[in-house]
Amino acid sequence: MNEILTGDGKQANPSCGYIMGYFTESPERLANAFALHLASSRDGRNWRPLHAGQPVLVPEIGECGMRDPFIFRKQDGQYIVVATNMWNSESIMCYESPDLIYFEAGRLLRLNSSGMHAWAPEIIYDPERQQYAIFWSGNTERNRIYVNYTQDFLSVTEAEVFFDPGYDVIDASIIPHGDMYFLYFKDERNPDEAPFEGKRIKGAVASSLQPGSFNKAVYTRPIGEPMIEGPFVIRSLDEDKWYLYGDCYTPINAKFFVWETSELNSGNWQPMDRRNYQLPPNAKHVSILSVNEAEWSRLIQTYEPPFWFRIRSYALPDYYLRADDSFAKLAPIPFDPYTSSLWKVTRGLASPDGVSIESVHQPGFYLRSSQFVLRLSKLEDSDNFREECTFMRMEGLSDPSWSSLCSFSYPDMYLIVDGAYIRISIIECERDKAYATFQLG
C-alpha cells in the first residue's frame, strides 16, 4: 500500500481512508469493462464505487483495454498508473496523473522483447538503487516474476528474473514493513498435483529488494482455496491489523475473499467474516493506496459516490436482493445483470418517517409487500400501493450497524428471508432476527 509521502520521500499528512483501483468482469460479460475504476473506503473493508461505478480512465492506447490496474504514488507525490495491456503484450500501459482526476501521457512501456506477456505489473521504490522497480508476471517454459528498473517511466532496464521459487508463480505484490519486505504471490501450479498447494496465495519475506532475495524465503502456508489470485495487502488505519485481498477467477469469477492478521511477520492469516467487508460490484484484481483528507475530499467531490445501494442478507452475506421479473429474490453474487441488484432508497411513499425502495434496473418499479411477499410493482396512484411500498427502517435486529425493515401496513411484521424470496413475518426467534437483518450499502 502506497503511503503518503512528501517530495523527499518522508511521511506527509496522515491518511484518513483508501482509494481502490480495479477493472470489472461479470459471469455473462455484461459488466466487463477493461478500464480503470475507483472506489473509496474509510475502513479498508467496505467499499463504495466512485463515478457511479463507471470508469474514470478508458485507455485508447495498445489494445484499448486494461487489466490489473495498479496505482502508485511516486516520490514526488504524483501518480503513475500501470496496467496489463490485455493478454499477450510485451508492453504495459502507463499513465501519469497529478490527482487521479486528470490522466495524461498515456503510453506503452515495453518490458521485454522475448515474446513474454507482461501481466499484473506493480511498482515499488528501491531506496538502495534509488530507482523504481516495475515487477510483473512473465512466461517462458514456466511463469516467473520479472523486474525492470526506471527513474522516469519512459525508459527501463533490461528485464531480469526477480522472484523464482522453483515453480510457476504469478501476481506478485510487495509491502514494506519495518526493515523488511513482504512479497505475496499466487502459486500457479496444479492444485491436484503434489505438493497440492497450487492456485493459492503465499507470502515470502526478505530484507532486500535485490532480485532473488525472496526465492527461498516463502514463510506462509497456502492461503485460501484453489483458484485465488491477485493478492494485495493493506494495513488498517484504525486498528492493529493487516488485510489481505484475493479474488477468484473460477468457478466463480470476480468473487473476493479477505483475510486478516495482527502480525504480518507471523504469516498467520485468518478468513475475515464475510459480513465485515464488501467490494464494489464485479471488481477484479485490485490495488489500494491510502489518501489524506484533502485528497479524499477532492476525489469524492469529483467522483460522487453512486446514488444507488445494494441490499444484502446478514444471514447469507454473499446473497443480494435483486429484481427478478415481478419478484424480489436473493441471489449469490456475482450475477448478471448486476444492475438488477441496484436500488434507490427514497422517502416513504406513505410516510416521510419511512422509506420506499425503487429499482434502478426498472425505474418506476418499487418493492412492495403484497400478500405478505416482497414483489416488484410499477408505481400506482393509490393509498394501498403507497402503504405496501413503505417500510420503517431501524437498527438491525442482529447487528445495530445493519438494518431491519418492518411493514408500514403491519408494524409488527418484518421483511425476512424465506428461501430465495423475502416475506413479511412476525419475528419469533434469534434465527428470525438474523434473517430479518440487511445491509443497505
**For the segment 52-105, what is each residue's pLDDT rounded down to a tens digit?**
999 999 999 999 999 999 999 999 999 999 999 999 999 999 999 999 999 999
Q: Is 366 found in the same domain as 229?
A: no
Q: Note down the domain range covering 135.
A: 15-302
Phi-psi region at 205: left, alpha or beta (left = phi > 0; alpha = psi -120 to 50): beta
Question: pLDDT value at position 161?
Answer: 98
Q: Is residue 253 part of a domain?
A: yes
Give percent of the chain above pLDDT 70: 97
Q: What is the model's pLDDT at position 372?
A: 94
The pLDDT of residue 5 is above 60: no
Q: Specify the number of domains making up the chain.
A: 2
Is the pLDDT confidence value at 7 over 70?
no
Least confident segment among 7-11, 59-63, 70-74, 139-143: 7-11
Query: Does residue 206 share a domain with residue 91?
Result: yes
SS3 116: coil
**Which CATH number characterizes residue 217's domain?**
2.115.10.20
> What is the mean predicted confidence (pLDDT) over 421-437?
97
**Are 262 and 280 members of one domain?**
yes
What was the pLDDT predicted at 3? 59
**Is the dihedral angle over the CA atoms 381, 383, 384, 387 positive or is it negative?**
positive
Measuring CA to CA, which residue among 399, 366, 398 is closest to residue 382? 366
Q: Domain for residue 422, yes or no?
A: yes
8 falls within a domain:
no
Say if residue 154 is in the same domain as residue 47.
yes
Same domain, 392 and 243: no
63, exposed or middle or buried, with CB in 10 Å at 0-12, 13-18, 19+? middle
Report, as an integer, the average pLDDT of 289-295: 97
pLDDT of residue 6: 35
In a domain, 10, yes or no: no
Q: What percent of the chain has pLDDT over 90?
A: 94
pLDDT band at 8 (very low <50, low <70, confident <90, very high): very low
pLDDT, mean of residues 47-51: 97
What pLDDT, on the 0 to 100 scale, is given for residue 140?
A: 94
**Cell numbers of 214, please?**
525472496
pLDDT at res. 174 = 98
pLDDT of residue 278: 96
Do both 141 and 281 map to the same domain? Answer: yes
Question: Does residue 1 have a pLDDT over 80?
Answer: no
Residue 126: pLDDT band (50, 70, 90) is very high
* Shared-domain flag, residues 173 and 27: yes
Mean pLDDT of all residues in 314-319 = 97
Q: Collect all residues with Cβ–Cβ distance below 8 Å to 431 and sequence separation of at least 6.
A: 315
Q: What is the pLDDT of residues 230-249, one digit of tens each?
A: 999 999 998 999 999 999 98
pLDDT value at residue 252: 87
436 and 342, same domain (yes or no): yes
297 and 425 part of one domain: no
Q: What is the pLDDT of residues 337-387, one digit of tens each?
A: 999 999 999 999 999 999 999 999 999 999 999 999 999 999 999 999 999
* Lateral strand order in the sheet of 256-261: 228-235, 242-248, 256-261, 270-271
Decide which of 302, 328, 348 is a domain's last residue.
302
pLDDT value at residue 305: 87
Of the given ranges (13-17, 159-163, 224-228, 245-249), which has the lowest mean pLDDT? Answer: 13-17
Query: Domain check: are 221 and 143 in the same one?
Result: yes
Considering only 3-7, 131-135, 286-290, which range has the smallest mean pLDDT? 3-7
User: In terms of domains, do 242 and 384 share one?
Assistant: no
Task: From 413, 421, 224, 398, select the one nearest 319 (Cα to Cα).
Answer: 421
pLDDT at 254: 86
> With the C-alpha atoms ordered 151, 152, 156, 159, is the resulting torsion angle positive or negative?
positive
